[in-house]
Amino acid sequence: MAKVKVYSTPTCPWCIKAKDWFTENKIKFENFDVSEDEKARNEMVEKSGQMGVPVIIIDDTVIVGFDIDQIKEKLGM
């Protein structure tokens, strides 16, 4: 199973949609609230090169935004 990380903020509507989608599809993910977690925020910027959320990392692939087609492709759906 792929390792999924979601870097998000509680007020970001696309972050909420992404996390809901993973939950509805029974895909385990680790969530990092970058509005509170400075270490996670720095990691997100280092990996994605930007501050926009959500940033979704599936295995080693960085996906900026809730790009459902790219997410499904990486998850083999």
Residue 20's domain comprises: 4-75
In the prediction, which pLDDT does 13 show? 97
CATH code, domain with 66: 3.40.30.10
Beta strands in 1-77 (DSSP E): 4-8, 30-33, 55-58, 61-64
- C-alpha separations of 61 from 11, 32, 72, 76 in Å: 24, 17, 12, 13
11-66 per-position pLDDT tens digit = 999 999 999 999 999 999 999 999 999 999 999 999 999 999 999 999 999 999 99
Domains identified in the chain, total number? 1
Amino acid letter for position 11: T
